Chains A and B, each alone.
Chain A
Amino acid sequence: MSWLHLLILLPFIFAAVVPYIYRKFTPRIHTGWFVLVIPLVIFAFLLSFTTAISNGNTAFSTVPWIPSYNINFTTYVDGLSLIFGLLIAGIGALVILYSIFYMSKREALNNFYVYLLLFMGAMLGLVFSDNIFVLYVFWETTSVSSFLLIAYWYEREKSRYGAQKSMLITIFGGLTMLAGLIMLSMMTETYSIREMVSQAANVPSHSLFVPSMILILIGAFTKSAQFPFSIWLPDAMEAPTPISAYLHSATMVKAGIYLVARLTPVFGGQSEWFWIVSSVGMITLLYGSVNAVRQTDLKALLAYSTISQLGLIMSLLGLGSASLYTGGEESSVYMAAIFAAIFHLVNHSTFKGCLFMVVGIIDHETGTRDIRRLGGLMHLMPISFTLAVIGSFSMAGLPPFNGFLSKEMFFTAVINAAEMKEFGVYSIGNLFPIIAWIASVFTFVYSMILVFKTFRGKNKPEKLAKEVHEAPLGMLISPIVLGLFVVIIFFFPNILSKYLLSPALAAIVPTLAAAGETNVKISAWHGWNIELFMTIGVIVLGTIMYHLLKKWYRIYLFYPENLTLNHLYNIGLENTEAVSRRVTDRYMTGFIRDYLVYIFAFIIVIVGGAVWLSDGLTIQTSGDAPVNWFEAALMIVMIITAAAVLFAKTRLKAILAVGGLGFLVSFFFVLFRAPDLALTQLVVETVTTVLFLLCFYHLPQLRKEFARIQFKAVNAIVSIGVGAVVTIVALSANGKRLFQSISGYYENSYELAGAKNIVNSILVDFRGIDTMLEILVLSIAGLGVYTLIKLRLAGGDSNEKVK
């Protein structure tokens, strides 16, 4: 177990302690101060990797988890995972610092920080895992913690709606991704991503190549809110703003990007991958930026802008995958697109994180995020205004902010794509720069809306609930830090490039890295070229459109509400619920007798059917030991007792007869020299008889039942059928040996487990995980009985909402 493993587990471990800290210190010290230590430690630790990674090294360490299935908790640090790790820990620290001032002490902070730490640990695990199953577990954990955080204010209807939506969409994507990953592991016969990459050359010829690629991409697209799965992200904005800044703009939504980047060496260079990733990215870019302009809620605007920016990064990864095309000559030209993707990913995290925090401040200080009610805040909140300008201008791609650099590189990439000859691009390629340019104009417009509609214009104090003033310093620190990064990265991009971006690039395109082509220089000024003219065009047209916004805003109203993706989702959800309810109501009758019929009918059909179909009915008596008179007598007594149950007039007699039958069975165990079983049977029988007697207290008098013939006939068929099937199975199992007995292995228990009692060493050692899960199920059953009986909800069934 390496330090990195401990570091990934650290947030989980600390999450277990948070509730106690919360209870102990609540009114005096904000819980966030304790939590803040965790991301700082992780960040400092990850920084120590930087030099080694930038020199081209990687770190690798493994802890056996389920070694018999080749599932191990393997961590792998390379440029790509390091950059994500640093973002997760760094932005995490800033967000927690910010949340200390944002979240009031009256909130349920224990829940908040537990969920947040769960997310942080899961996200770190995701980016550092090398084993696909471990990666999948962490992937779903991020979905679950995101669900919990969106529903943090669960009293609100909209929070619950948003949480459910994000859960349904991202978990659906996670499951398809799992299927895709399993297919991938079938193709490469390994669960390790590193080994998959090393076998990448054999993958494309396999028949599962396209299915697995599409399934994995659906997973990545749902997580990264790509069109048409993007609809969950705007509703996720019901989460507290620190969460929106952290999960829904800086880290979690980038998990899909991470996955695409991570698997680029496996799938990249193929035309399907190129087309799907880059076109979905382009559509998302355009869809997000066009929709962002119409939003009146600041957070919704940022949500759509995040969708659009994620589309941008995704399309860059798609375009850049062309560099792995083996027949191409100008691979390094396309590789620049991947570099731009990583660069923009970092830039987006800084400026979008900053913007979210500013919007949070506005919400916190004015009580609203509605643009129509805001205005003229420039003089009241000068620092927030400055930060908003830095963030939005960077988002719009203006100098001197880091967004300008990556936006220029994006333009370069799309222009290169227009001239691409591979993958049958030709004339369609011209669409790339056009879409990119239109989307950039809209990006410019909404960035201006964000700044000027809120901070310029007339102040409207009558529409605000409270008196507005600048936020406290503590709340401003985090956005200031991010804002500083936005500016610093513009002036010194090559330091970032040398230590983080180039190693990450090398991790995405390992074959080119080996050829030493991954050193990219970023420069703010590269002459009067097309990219610069494109940017100038964006500014000019964007400014005109911003000023004429009122004139053309109406075109948004033409789009019918019924055709939106949201509407489709809602209709789909309603219908699924209605149909499943109809189906469920048909068989969930509420009568236990019916349920027992289902269970036993299944036993008859499946077990009996299997025996019948496989010709399993063989009765062999040759190997049996002779029956002595003692055993025969015992059997006769047992039959009599069993029959007595049927003819018992009162419940008490029936219970005693069943108990007696159990004790008689334990006699058989004694006869056959299985003292363990006999003991267990005896005690279990004693306890269950007591249980029956207790239940007996609640049951009505047993009386002769008068039922319809049909009813009785079903009962008869089911009971006789089950009896027959069990008897047949027991006899056939004795008569047929399909496999060699495994008991020989356990006979060595004294050498293997140091125990002379085979039964117990099987229970606690050889099959320990079974026992562990059994006692877990047992405890859950106990709690189930407890809640069923003790928990009487106020109002009975009336709290269920019925439409």
Chain B
Amino acid sequence: MKKSNDVIIRSVTKVAVVIILTFAINLFISGHHQPGGGFIGGLAFASALILLFLAFDIETVRNHIPLDFKVVAAVGVLISVLTGVGAMLLDHPFLFQAFGYFKLPIFGKTELATAVLFDIGVALAVIGTSITIIMTIGDDR
């Protein structure tokens, strides 16, 4: 096997991935009030993973992250649908979203919204789908 010549990209990736992932999660959470949200957060998360695939090879990454991303996408869609159904159980129309302000121990007065649950579904669906597509095309040698 040819010796790989990508020390720089690997070293950078190791640091960069952490930063991108943190940024992705930040994007996701801040989406309620600042720019960001489930779609963009999920996509940023996925791009971190894609960077890993590029720097290392698919097999290595797959061994360390033994997730079936098709399932991740399905779970994401399911979460979104279920949040909608949940509203129906509480006598609200399908996909009704609620929010409220609560006093939490550390954060103080915090807003909690059911839309975030829906957004988690969106994020997972985006991550799952994009990684599935990239991995299938990249894997097909």
Contacts and interface: CB of A to CB of B under 8 A. Distances in A.
A686 B47 contact: yes
Interface in A751-803: 753-757, 759-761, 763-765, 768-769, 771-772, 775-776, 778-779, 781-783, 785-786, 789-790
Contacts of A783: 70, 73, 132
A195 interface: no
B10 interface: no
Contact of B113 (A686, A687, A755, A775): A755
Interface in B12-62: 27, 31-40, 43-44, 46-47, 50, 54
B137 A785 contact: yes
A342 to B, nearest CB: 34
Nearest to A763: B37
A166 to B, nearest CB: 30
Interface string B98-141: 01100000000001010100110110011011101110111011
A679 interface: yes
Contacts of A778: 73, 125-126, 129
Contacts of B54: 690
B40 A680 contact: yes
B37 A676 contact: yes
A756 B115 CA distance: 13
Name, among B27, B54, B132, the residue most crowded by chain A CB atoms within 10 Å (CB to CB). B132
Nearest to A772: B80
A718 B81 CA distance: 40
Contacts of B115: 753, 755, 761, 764-765, 768
A793 B89 CA distance: 43
Chain A interface main SS type: helix
A695 interface: yes
Query: Secondary structure at chain B's binding surface: helix, strand, loop or mixed?
Result: helix
Contacts of A786: 70, 132-133, 136
A598 interface: no
Interface string A1-43: 1000000000000000000000000000000000000000000
A125 to B, nearest CB: 15
A679 B40 contact: yes
B6 to A, nearest CB: 15
Contacts of A690: 50, 54, 134
Contacts of B47: 683, 686-687
A679 B35 contact: yes
A66 B36 contact: no
A684 interface: yes
Contact of A65 (B36, B80, B88): B88
A669 to B, nearest CB: 11
A779 B73 contact: yes
Contact of B91 (A63, A680, A686, A687): A63
B136 A1 contact: no
A690 B130 CA distance: 11
Contacts of B46: 687
A781 B129 contact: yes
Given A66-B93, A694-B137, A768-B84, A760 B118 contact: no
A782 B129 contact: yes
Given A760-B31, A768-B97, A775 B130 contact: no
Given A63-B88, A768-B84, A779 B129 contact: yes
A680 B31 CA distance: 12
A65 B92 CA distance: 8
A704 interface: no
A537 interface: no
Contact of B36 (A676, A698, A782): A676
A64 B94 CA distance: 8
A590 interface: no
B137 A769 contact: no
Given A771-B122, A778-B126, A759 B37 contact: yes
A790 B133 CA distance: 11
A64 B91 contact: yes
A763 B39 CA distance: 9
A585 to B, nearest CB: 29
Contact of B130 (A66, A676, A687, A763): A687
Contacts of B73: 778-779, 782-783
Contacts of B113: 753-755
B82 to A, nearest CB: 11
A690 B134 CA distance: 8
Given A680-B43, A772-B80, A782 B132 contact: yes
Contact of A67 (B40, B93, B130): B93
Contacts of B9: none
Nearest to A790: B136
B95 A769 contact: yes
B94 A760 contact: no
Contact of A789 (B31, B92, B137): B137
Contact of A772 (B31, B84, B126, B138): B84
A794 to B, nearest CB: 18
B88 A683 contact: no
B138 A687 contact: no
A771 B70 CA distance: 19
A63 B87 CA distance: 11
Nearest to A754: B99
Of all A-B residue pairs in the complex, the 5 with the closest CB atoms, nearest first, are A754-B99, A782-B129, A775-B125, A760-B37, A756-B33
5 contacts: A1-B89, A676-B35, A680-B40, A690-B134, A782-B129
Given A1-B89, A754-B111, 16 more contacts: A676-B37, A679-B35, A679-B36, A683-B40, A684-B43, A687-B46, A687-B50, A754-B113, A757-B34, A757-B36, A759-B35, A768-B95, A772-B95, A782-B73, A785-B133, A789-B136
